[in-house]
Amino acid sequence: MKSDKAMVMFQRLGSVDLVLSSKINKACHYHYIKQFFRLVSRLGDGVFWYTLIIILVIYYGEKGLIASFHMLIVGIITLLVYKYIKSKIGRLRPFENNTEIMKGTIALDCYSFPSGHTLHAVSFTIVALHYFPHLFAVLCAFTLLVACSRVILGLHYPTDVIAGAAIGYTIAQIATYFPI
C-alpha cells in the first residue's frame, strides 16, 4: 500500500519535472540564450573552477593554496559520489524522454540524475566561500547560472539540479569541518 502511494507520488513528480523541463528549455530556442548558456555550461565543466584555483593560489598565497587543496579534495569526493549515484539511478536525460525538448549542447555522460555540474559548482562555491566570503556575489551568481544552464540546455530536470545542489552543499559543509 505504501509503495503504491510512493510510486504514484514519484510518477506525479516525474510528470511535473518533464513539464517544467519542457517549459524552461523553450529559452534554448533563442540563439543568443542558447549560446550564452552553452558558454556557462562549458565554463562549469571545470574551466572556471581550475582558473579560480590558480587565481586563489597566485593572489592569496598560502591561504589560497590551502583553499585550493580543500576544493580539490572535495572535488574528488563529489566526483566519486556523483558517479556512483548516476550509475545506480540511470535516469535518462529530458531530451531523451520528450522530443519537444531541445538538446542544447553535448552531454558529458549518459544519465541525468544528479546534475554533476551543479553538484560541483555548489560544493566548490561553499568551500571557496569558507575561506574567502567576499567572493560571494561572483561565485553564487556563476553557480546559479550553471544550475540554470543544465535545465535550459535540456540536459537535466529541475530535480536533477536540486539534488545535485543538495548533495554538493552537504558534502562541502561537512568538509569545511575538517581543516586542511
Kindly report whether the global pTM for this prediction surpasses the value 0.85.
yes
Residue 7 confidence (pLDDT): 61
Q: Domain for residue 128, yes or no?
A: yes
Structurally, the chain folds into a number of domains equal to: 1
pLDDT in tens, the chain (180 residues): 556 665 666 677 667 888 888 889 999 889 999 999 999 999 999 899 999 999 999 999 999 999 999 999 999 999 999 999 988 888 888 888 778 888 888 887 888 889 999 999 999 999 999 999 999 999 999 999 999 999 999 999 999 999 999 999 999 999 988 877
Whether residue 5 is contained in a domain is answered as no
- Find the domain containing 80 and state its range: 20-175
Residue 139 in any domain: the answer is yes
Whole-angstrom CA distances from 137 to 33, 67, 125, 141 are 22, 18, 11, 6
